[in-house]
Structure 1
């Protein structure tokens, strides 16, 4: 799609394809981040803590939100930089076996004074297939203006 700054419509909503969270996904994130807490590696431990099985790291969910958004290819050639994530809230645990998707809407946009680019704001939500909100956050990005 390759949205330029001018193409972004505040209020527009997008939904990504879904992704099933696997034990292997969680194990890969453990390995990459060196976070082997037993909630993420030991089903019995996680069950004793009140979960149905091992859970994904909250930061895995946040990273997955960005990855699923990227699959939409909204800014494949127009993205310059992520400027950060604000107001991240982990609402419910992500459990191995969950199928998830991302909903995002554009909530604001403004000119960037120093570049031929603009700053856009997205409300981003990771949801379970049944609609349960798992993570919500605000994402700010810098994207190119049309030539």
Structure 2
């Protein structure tokens, strides 16, 4: 399935499959980004800071949100570019063992003034369990008009 600009309905929602966060995921993100802060690598240090153990990087959670959305294959043929993320809030820490999912809602759309494409806005939330909000953000994308 691929949504084109004309297919996007403001107010429609999508939910991704769940994903379990592992210590290996967190360690891989450390290696990839070269961010080895002890909150992400040292269980005793993280506990001394008031966390139940090591926590994932907030940016890992944000990147995972995009990856989980991609698994929905909403823009398989229609995506042109991400135009950015706004209002990103890291609400709660992400822990190894957390099972998370993304809920997204289309909140706005408009045609691009500079090219034959549309700009869509999504409210995106990373959730643990039923309603435990971990990250909230707004994502703006440029997508193709229907062929």
Question: TM-score normalized by structure 1?
Answer: 0.98
Task: Output the CA distance in 2 between the equivalents of 1:55 and 1:107.
Answer: 31
Task: Output the CA distance in 2 between the equivalents of 1:40 and 1:67.
Answer: 20
Unaligned runs of 5+ in 2: none
The number of aligned residues is 147
For residues 36-72 of structure 1, the C-alpha deviation after alignment (integer angstroms, 9 at most, x for no partner) is 0000001111111111111000000000000000000
**RMSD over equivalenced CA pairs, Å:** 0.6
Question: TM-score normalized by structure 2?
Answer: 0.98
Task: Output the CA distance in 2 between the equivalents of 1:59 and 1:32.
Answer: 12
For residues 11-34 of structure 1, the C-alpha deviation after alignment (integer angstroms, 9 at most, x for no partner) is 000000000000000000000000
Asked if 1:13 corresponds to 2:9, the answer is no
Task: Output the CA distance in 1 between the equivalents of 2:62 and 2:114.
Answer: 29
Following superposition of structure 1 onto structure 2, how do residues 88-127 of structure 1 map, counting pairs within 5 Å?
88-127=88-127
Task: Output the CA distance in 2 between the equivalents of 1:55 and 1:72.
Answer: 26
Unaligned runs of 5+ in 1: none
User: What is the CA-CA distance between 1:116 and the residue it aligns to?
Assistant: 1.6
Instruction: Return structure 1 stretches of 4+ with deviation > 6 angstroms.
Output: none
User: What is the CA-CA distance between 1:5 and the residue it aligns to?
Assistant: 0.1
Following superposition of structure 1 onto structure 2, how do residues 47-126 of structure 1 map, counting pairs within 5 Å?
47-126=47-126
